[in-house]
Amino acid sequence: MQLLNTNVAKTTEGTITVEFHGEGNEFIAVRMASGVAADDSAAIARAKQMMVQTAAFGEASSSGAQGEGVSIDDTLAGETDSGTGVI
């Protein structure tokens, strides 16, 4: 993916989301606890580290890890705050 744009969004729920936008409408979002990054540059660096770790170790388990085969919509729906629709 050729990176075209990167956005960092901080939420009131104590998370930071780093969005990597690429050509052809490709998009990767990494969400983390806000305490792991003091500023946008640190958040971007941490998100990149998380992606590298996921790529390197994500295939290591063949035991059917939690979340395997679950859509992102189902995952996010399970994270909503007590039915308020707030993630």
How many structural domains is the chain composed of?
A: 1
d(Cα 37, Cα 40) in Å, to the nearest integer? 7
**Domain span at 31:** 3-78
Is 29 within a domain? yes
Buried b (16+ CB within 10 A) or exposed e, 56-72: eeeeeeeeeeeeeeeee
- Tens of pLDDT, residue by residue over 7-63, are 999 988 889 999 999 999 999 999 999 888 889 999 999 999 999 988 877 665 545
Kindly report the pTM of this predicted structure.
0.63
Per-residue confidence at 71, pLDDT binned at 50, 70, 90?
A: low
Is 85 within a domain? no
